[in-house]
């Protein structure tokens, strides 16, 4: 969708409340060609569930696939075989790192669409560098990158090749340093699609490259007007598998799954410079459910993982939580947060399991971030068997004093304080030497509750706890935790 310039200007000049309505209308119009698989929930703003559901644990002898959050009724086979196969060269593409292959990729997508009801299509990308503008995927499609194959995005100097879209309805405006209410499209996009596989033959040399250098430089020079494009983004989609390849140099967030379900990302390398590549989050599930990230190495210029569900009033109005997320066996190097929840969590976040992973770099280790203007909730989250190392600012951090309010929310936006409840840190080992390894800052209006620490320690047994408006329990924790983890639940402040 490329909005008419008059439409762009009209929405940008509209009052805040009208702008949100216009954004929602534009997003609905963009999706009108096919009914979204995951439509927004009508009714009141989201509230925490009455009962906190327990996460399933893998039974002995089960395969990895059987242990996923995945609806096998809808998608009985993960990464199914396709009936038809085509080579990108058959559509006229040339992998010489200079020929612009946009027409070839668009023709390939049209061919795949024709096979969608006849067993689907696998598109083979041979060795070479295949330069192209952004393109959209179609359902029942596999893109297979051979060893030595790179799909390379046209850079910021060809931003005329990147269509402009309305903002996401759960955000209402731009992100990443600009609040103009439009954004560039993703490099590889999926809108209202189902049954998609993007895979590589060799995860080190099968590459999707966002060519982000020019975009990052413009952001750092203060010359960015419109939110940069994501590398891979799916909206209102279902049954997505991304596996065994490298995703690198995204202009903005690297992988972004929005209003979608049944997502499996595994055996990936997600890369961007840790400094000088702003907002290059590695893996961002956003208002989505049944999400799995396994066996992946992430080193980026922002959060390694950031679990989200919309921003302030826009996220609450859209009302779609992120839930049922499994993150296992990842290494995340970050100068922000290695593994984060928020700060955009106004639609709610629940049922999250992060285990058997390394949180490295010079940012925070495990971070849950919110603010009094977010609303929403984060409940039933477990971090288990995590090693935290590097020159970390703070190893375990939960704070509700995060700033960055949504500028589209007017003075009538006064949500209930966010609920942060039933968060468990189990078997956490901190190898670095942050002066304040633990920082838990809740709100006087609504304390963080049921925070549980089991077998959590710094290697040198040193460091401080900083706690405000938080209650919970602690067993086997070194150094000695705050009083609010040792005394009666009525203890509110230390």
Among all residues, which ones are annotated catalytic? 302
* Residues paired with 493 in a beta bridge: 468
The DSSP output letter for 8 is H
Q: How does DSSP assign 403-462, residue by residue?
A: ----TT--TT--PPPPEEEEEEEEEEEE-S--SS-EEEE--SSS-EEEEEEEEEEETTS-
| 294: CB partners within 8 A, 6+ apart | 64, 264, 265, 266, 267, 326, 327, 328, 329, 330
Q: Is 110 helix (H, G, I), strand (E, B) or coil?
A: helix
CA distances from 282 to 116, 163, 211, 367 (A): 30, 23, 15, 15
CA distances from 161 to 132, 155, 174, 483 (A): 9, 9, 19, 57
Gap between the terminal Cα atoms of the chain: 52
| 221: CB partners within 8 A, 6+ apart | none
* Residues paired with 213 in a beta bridge: none
Nearest Cα to Cα of residue 125 among 99, 146, 103, 109: 146
Say if residue 455 is exposed, middle or buried (CB neighbours under 10 Å; 0-12, 13-18, 19+): middle
Report whether 153 contacts 134 (CB < 8 A): yes
Report whether 244 contacts 200 (CB < 8 A): yes
How far apart are the C-alpha atoms of 299 and 230, rounded to whole Å?
Answer: 16
Say if residue 329 is exposed, middle or buried (CB neighbours under 10 Å; 0-12, 13-18, 19+): middle
- At 360, list the tokens: 């490295």
Sign of the dihedral defined by the CA atoms of residues 416, 370, 352, 243, in that order: positive
- At 348, list the tokens: 């709610």
Q: Which residue has the tokens 């292959």?
A: 101
């Amino acid at each position: 969708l490329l909005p008419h310039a008059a439409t762009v200007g009209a929405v940008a000049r509209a009052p805040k409340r009208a702008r949100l309505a216009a954004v929602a209308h534009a997003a609905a119009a963009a999706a009108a060609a096919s009914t979204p698989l995951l439509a927004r929930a009508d009714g009141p703003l989201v509230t925490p569930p009455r009962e906190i559901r327990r996460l399933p644990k893998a039974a002995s002898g089960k395969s990895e696939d059987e242990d996923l959050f995945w609806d096998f009724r809808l998608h009985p086979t993960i990464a199914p075989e396709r009936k038809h196969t085509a080579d990108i060269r058959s559509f006229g593409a040339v992998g010489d790192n200079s020929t612009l292959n946009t027409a070839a990729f668009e023709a390939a997508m049209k061919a795949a669409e024709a096979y969608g009801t006849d067993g689907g299509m696998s598109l083979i990308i041979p060795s070479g560098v295949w330069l192209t503008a952004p393109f959209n995927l179609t359902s029942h499609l596999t893109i297979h990158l051979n060893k030595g194959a790179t799909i390379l995005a046209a850079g910021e100097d060809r931003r005329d090749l990147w269509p402009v879209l309305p903002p996401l309805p759960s955000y209402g405006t731009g992100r990443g340093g600009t609040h103009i209410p439009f954004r560039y499209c993703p490099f590889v996009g999926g809108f209202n699609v189902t049954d998609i596989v993007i895979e590589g033959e060799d995860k080190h040399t099968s590459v999707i490259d966002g060519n982000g250098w020019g975009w990052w430089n413009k952001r750092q020079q203060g010359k960015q007007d419109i939110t940069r494009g994501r590398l891979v983004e799916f909206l209102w989609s279902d049954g997505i598998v991304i596996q065994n390849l490298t995703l690198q140099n995204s202009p903005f967030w690297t992988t972004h799954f929005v209003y979608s379900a049944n997502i499996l990302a595994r055996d990936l390398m997600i890369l961007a410079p840790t400094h000088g590549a702003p907002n290059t989050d590695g893996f961002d599930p956003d208002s989505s459910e049944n999400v799995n990230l396994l066996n992946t190495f992430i080193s980026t210029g922002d959060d390694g993982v950031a679990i989200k569900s919309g921003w302030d009033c826009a996220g609450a109005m859209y009302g779609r939580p992120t839930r049922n997320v499994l993150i296992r066996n990842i290494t995340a190097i970050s100068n922000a947060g290695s593994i984060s929840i928020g700060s955009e969590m106004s639609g709610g976040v629940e049922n999250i399991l992060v285990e058997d992973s390394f949180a490295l770099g010079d940012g925070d280790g495990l971070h849950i971030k919110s603010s009094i203007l977010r609303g929403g909730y984060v409940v039933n989250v477990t971090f288990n068997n995590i090693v935290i190392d590097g020159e970390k600012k703070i190893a375990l951090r939960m704070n509700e004093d995060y700033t960055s309010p949504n500028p589209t929310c007017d003075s009538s936006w006064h949500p209930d304080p966010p609920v942060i409840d039933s968060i468990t840190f189990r078997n956490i080992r901190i190898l670095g030497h942050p002066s304040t390894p633990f920082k838990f800052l809740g709100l006087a209006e609504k304390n963080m509750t049921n925070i549980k620490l089991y077998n959590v320690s710094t290697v040198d047994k040193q460091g401080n706890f900083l706690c405000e408006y938080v209650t919970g329990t602690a067993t086997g924790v070194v150094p000695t935790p705050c009083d609010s983890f040792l005394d009666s639940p009525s203890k509110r402040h230390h």
